[in-house]
Amino acid sequence: MYIGKLTQWPQQRAVLPDAVNRALDALAQLDLAGMPAGRYEIDGDRLYFMIQEMITQPFEAGRPEAHRRYADIQLLLSGEEGYGIAPPDPALPVLDDFFEGRDIGFYATPVNEQRINLLPGDFVVFYPGELHRPGRCVAESMPIRKVVVKIDRTLLGL
């Protein structure tokens, strides 16, 4: 997992995988605020992004999730978004397995789950297997707009 600010990313490129930098380079060329919600391809199913609009929900209303095929870059464009985060835990039971069709599994709450909050311009990279509970309220429910980039694990050498 990596947490950063888009404004500081150029100085931190050296610590990120090429595929993450490629995705952030592509986003930096776009007017994300003016684009409608939806899916946009950078390199077919191997590298694409979605602009999402949603209302944040109470922390307890969500479940931790993880992916097997894709890493996520989640970049907040507007609002405040809370997350639960935890490292992979092979012993943690999968409650709902949608890995085959949608590359997502929902898990029981890990004992070591931490919370982070993102403000506009903040981003977080979740690698395959890393648990995250996105879309959570920070203080109260609010509309948010964000970008979720999907990076196929093969582009990361995994």
Where residue 94 sits, what CATH number does that domain have?
2.60.120.370
Domain that holds residue 90: 2-129
Residue 156 lies in a domain: no
Residue 120 lies in a domain: yes
Residue 150 lies in a domain: no
What is the three-state SS of the chain?
A: CEEEECCCHHHHHHHCCHHHHHHHHHHHCCCHHHCCCEEEEEECECEEEEEEEEECECHHHCCCEECCCEEEEEEEEECCEEEEEECCCCCCCEEEEEHHHHCEEEECCCCCCEEEEECCCEEEEECCCCEEEEEECCCCCCEEEEEEEEEEHHHHCC
Q: What is the pLDDT of residues 19-50, one digit of tens each?
A: 999 999 999 999 999 999 999 999 999 999 99
- The predicted structure's pLDDT at residue 4: 96
Total structural domains in the chain? Answer: 1
The Cα-based distances of 130 to 81, 82, 157 in angstroms read 18, 16, 16
Residues in the chain: 158
Q: What is the pLDDT of residues 130-143, one digit of tens each?
A: 999 999 999 999 99
Q: What is the pLDDT of residues 49-75, one digit of tens each?
A: 999 999 999 999 999 999 999 999 999
Q: What is the pLDDT of residues 102-113, one digit of tens each?
A: 999 999 999 999
Residue 33 lies in a domain: yes
List the structure tokens of 139.
Answer: 């203080």
Residue 153 lies in a domain: no
104: alpha, beta or left, given left = phi > 0 and alpha = psi -120 to 50? beta
Residue 158 lies in a domain: no
- When pLDDT is averaged across residues 121-150 and rounded to a whole number, the result is 97
Euclidean distance between CA atoms 14 and 112, whole angstroms: 29
Residue 157 lies in a domain: no
| DSSP string of 89-113, one letter each residue | -TTSPEEEEEHHHHSEEEEPPPTT-
Amino acid identity, residue 70? Answer: Y
- The predicted structure's pLDDT at residue 133: 98
Residue 148 lies in a domain: no
Q: What is the pLDDT of residues 81-102, one digit of tens each?
A: 999 999 999 999 999 999 999 9
